[in-house]
């Protein structure tokens, strides 16, 4: 019985691989579904014995958005080359360091998706992280295991040769042609469409619900073997072959070249074929193939010296402007938006483009009915590059900016000092809707399930008149809204409750204070420690913070003067950043062992987290950086220190054990 069930799992795994990884199915979908149903039935007889790598166990795993899990080694980014000159300059730098040894290059397509790492222990998928900030990633294991091209168990000719620990890295993506389908669905549900396949991939992986991810047509190409125990390789291409044999999906268009001239040919070929590739590719990646050469070249804090990306030119297309609408932003700024005849650009159908402000329209002489060139460079939202004036027929209409807010009819305000035209009505419902959306956004309180559709209804039905009202929403009122069943309502209320735990800087961002984004909010909280203290500060003391100018200081002060009641309501709602005792920032000790020295902390320290260790160093006047370089004075190496330790040894950087470090902290 047990062997039957295991055999069936093996058979299903084989067909999953044939279908999702090799793209060479051997049986029909119906036959595959039948095998899955058979396995599900068999597993029902002993549900407690279903292993985590069974093909039935793809949905329902755990996800911990917001978690900060350290990467084994930093997930670096790549330097960019724009043009052949820059690529050749990259080659010159490589040759210089390698003293003109012969160099073989591997080229790969640079897939525009979401970078992730996948960890396997004894051949079983055990954890998947997003790239995060490169140093720490988020645990999205449950979502990554829903991707059928991610093996839950490694395969291989020799089951005894499965490495005990293996970490690969790759790019999760959504095929271009499926983006429009997802967006049609999203629009039907009054959700904002994804701007490009990359956002769709990121949005699908970074969600709390594995069943949402499972419905998205996500795929993956693994592009590197980051860590393995029990194997040695001499080249990157050899490592890729091994990865493939273990059941991972690698991009088929990888090539090895003897010279950068050949690399340029590869690039030119792919620029020409770019639109035919079924997934979004924003360039090629060029990597030195030999791993010992890679090692010799090493990395800067941000990117390896042995690799670069050679970017494709920006996507361009022409279309016409059908109308110009004016949108009201969360701070009352009125933004003209061009409504376009739909056009495909970089995998997405574009129907809108911001015109920024009235001046932009005047400067470019943009008229309704004009034919325009639309450009999208990399990640950036598409913009109107140019007006094709020779295509004008005379029927184009000049746009005149409205004198009243399109939402609340209040006369608009123009000022001498800025280009923005504003609606200054504090009660304008369009502004309120955008403020609530922003409050719930990823940069602020990260309340999932509070998109434009729900927000609009909450405001239109009078259920909220400021962000603090979110905390007194009642299930019975929310569940009456369109498309809000008891499930979604429960989830939303839970998410709102969860947001009470948000850090002060996040809440500050969420308040939609003019000129206060993430960086400014961090600076303000770092200085004042709490929103309460900040709200009582005068412009002078705010302006005294390095990096904060008079405009920001003025805006913060006037916000708190006008929004006293809102802050009191948030306090009463029980947001943790208002209620908890704020730790007094310890004064910087100016003369200590740490003063003026640069530290890197790695591995796990017994008595404190790495963040705490960093704080201790900083308060003693030391500097903490993320990678070991010639400028590092000390590496603090805890349990399980890896590549940073090796690097420190290689560069002759002094190493402190966790114990010595703690002793120094006590003494200083």
Which residues are tagged catalytic? 110
DSSP letter for 442, please. T
* Closest distance of CB 304 from ligand IVH, Å: 5
93/323 with CB nearer ligand IVH: 93
Tokens in use for 16? 């999953």
C-beta closer to ligand IVH: residue 62 or 295: 295
Identify which of 394, 389, 387 has the alpha carbon closest to the alpha carbon of residue 355.
387
What angle, 0 to 180 degrees and rounded to 10, lies between the N-to-C axes of helices 429-440 and 452-460? 140
Q: Residue 151's CB: how many other CB atoms inside 10 A?
A: 24
Q: How far is the CB of 340 from ligand IVH (least distance, A)?
A: 29
Question: For residues 180 and 194, is the Cβ–Cβ distance under 8 A?
Answer: no
Angle between helices 197-205 and 176-188 (to 10 degrees): 70
139 vs 108: CA distance, rounded Å: 27
Which residue's C-beta sits nearest to ligand IVH? 115
Contacts of 601 (CB under 8 A, 6+ apart): 610, 613, 614, 617, 624, 635, 636, 638
Nearest alpha-carbon partner for 384 in 317, 328, 326, 333: 317
Q: Please identify, using beta-carbon distances, which residue of 72 and 190 lies nearer to ligand IVH.
A: 72
Residues near ligand IVH (CB under 6 A) are 76-78, 108, 110-111, 115, 131, 171, 223-224, 285, 304, 307
Question: Which CB, 108 or 446, lies closer to ligand IVH?
Answer: 108
Identify which of residues 81 and 567 has a Cβ nearer to ligand IVH in the complex. 81
Return d(Cα 86, Cα 388) in angstroms, integer. 32
The stretches of 113-221 forming alpha helices (DSSP H) are 141-144, 176-188, 197-205, 210-215
Nearer Cβ to ligand IVH, position 110 or 148? 110
Please report which helix (H) or strand (E) contains residue 128, including its range. strand 124-130
Q: How far is the CB of 212 from ligand IVH (least distance, A)?
A: 22
Nearer to ligand IVH, 16 or 171 (CB): 171
Output the smallest distance, CB 190 to ligand IVH, in A: 32
CB of 225 to ligand IVH, least distance (A): 11
Q: Identify which of 132, 133, 150, 149 has the alpha carbon closest to the alpha carbon of residue 141.
A: 150
CB of 116 to ligand IVH, least distance (A): 8
Q: What minimum distance in Å lies between the beta carbon of 242 and ligand IVH?
A: 16
CB of 123 closer than 8 Å to CB of 162: yes
Q: Which helix (H) or strand (E) holds 353?
A: strand 348-354
């Amino acid at each position: 019985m047990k062997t039957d069930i295991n055999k069936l799992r093996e058979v299903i795994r084989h067909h999953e691989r044939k279908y999702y990884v090799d793209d060479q199915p051997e049986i029909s979908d119906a036959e595959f579904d039948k095998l899955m149903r058979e396995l599900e039935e068999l597993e029902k007889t002993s549900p407690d014995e279903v292993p985590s790598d069974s093909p039935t166990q793809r949905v329902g795993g755990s996800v911990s958005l917001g978690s900060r899990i350290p990467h084994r080694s930093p997930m670096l980014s790549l330097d960019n080359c724009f043009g052949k000159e820059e690529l050749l300059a990259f080659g010159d730098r490589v040759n210089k360091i390698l003293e003109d040894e012969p160099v073989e290059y591997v080229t790969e397509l640079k897939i525009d998706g979401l970078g992730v790492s996948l960890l396997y222990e004894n051949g079983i998928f055990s954890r998947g992280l997003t790239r995060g900030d490169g140093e720490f990633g988020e645990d999205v294991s449950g979502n990554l295991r829903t991707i059928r091209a991610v093996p839950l168990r490694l395969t291989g000719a020799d089951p005894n040769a499965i490495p005990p620990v293996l970490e690969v890295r790759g790019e999760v993506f959504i095929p271009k042609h499926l983006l429009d389908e997802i967006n049609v669905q999203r629009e039907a549900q009054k959700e904002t469409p994804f701007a490009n396949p990359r956002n769709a991939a990121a949005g699908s992986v970074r969600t709390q619900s594995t069943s949402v991810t499972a419905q998205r047509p996500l795929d993956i190409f693994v592009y590197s073997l980051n860590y393995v125990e029990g194997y040695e390789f001499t080249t990157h291409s050899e490592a890729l072959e091994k990865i493939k044999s273990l059941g991972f999906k690698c991009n088929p268009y990888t090539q090895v070249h003897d010279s950068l001239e050949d690399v340029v040919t590869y690039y030119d070929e792919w620029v020409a074929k770019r639109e035919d590739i079924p997934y979004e590719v924003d360039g090629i990646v060029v990597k030195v193939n030999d791993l010992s050469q890679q090692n010799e070249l090493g990395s800067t804090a941000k990117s390896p010296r042995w690799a670069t990306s050679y970017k494709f030119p920006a996507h361009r297309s022409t279309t016409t402007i059908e109308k110009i609408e004016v949108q009201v932003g969360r701070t009352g700024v009125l933004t003209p938006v061009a409504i376009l005849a739909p056009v495909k650009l970089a995998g997405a159908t574009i129907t809108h483009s911001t015109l920024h402000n009235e001046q932009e329209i005047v400067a470019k002489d943009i008229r309704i009915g004009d034919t325009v060139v639309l450009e999208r460079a990399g990640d950036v939202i598409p913009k109107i590059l140019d007006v094709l004036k020779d295509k004008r027929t005379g029927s184009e209409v000049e746009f005149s900016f409205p004198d009243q807010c399109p939402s609340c009819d209040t006369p608009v305000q123009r000022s001498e000092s800025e280009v923005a035209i504003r609606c200054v009505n504090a009660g304008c419902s369009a502004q309120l809707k955008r403020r609530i959306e922003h409050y719930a956004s990823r940069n602020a309180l990260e309340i999932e399930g509070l998109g434009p559709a729900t927000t609009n209804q909450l405001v239109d039905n009078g259920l909220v008149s400021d962000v603090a009202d979110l905390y007194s929403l009642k299930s019975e009122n929310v569940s009456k809204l369109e498309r809000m069943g008891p499930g979604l309502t429960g989830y939303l209320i839970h998410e709102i409750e969860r947001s009470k735990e948000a850090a002060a800087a996040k809440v500050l961002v969420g308040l939609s204070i003019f000129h206060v984004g993430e960086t400014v909010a961090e600076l303000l909280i770092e200085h004042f420690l709490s929103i309460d203290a900040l709200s009582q500060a005068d412009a002078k003391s705010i302006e005294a913070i390095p990096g904060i100018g008079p405009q920001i200081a003025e805006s913060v002060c006037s916000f708190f003067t006008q929004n006293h009641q809102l802050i009191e309501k948030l306090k009463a709602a029980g947001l943790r950043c208002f209620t908890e005792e704020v730790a007094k920032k310890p004064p910087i000790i100016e003369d200590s062992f740490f003063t003026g020295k640069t530290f890197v902390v790695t591995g796990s320290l017994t008595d404190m987290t790495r963040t705490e260790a960093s704080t201790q160093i900083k308060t003693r006047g030391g500097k903490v950086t993320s990678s070991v370089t010639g400028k590092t004075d000390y590496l603090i190496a805890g349990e399980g220190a890896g590549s940073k330790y090796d690097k420190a040894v290689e560069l002759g950087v002094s190493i402190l054990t966790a114990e010595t470090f703690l002793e120094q902290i006590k003494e200083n």
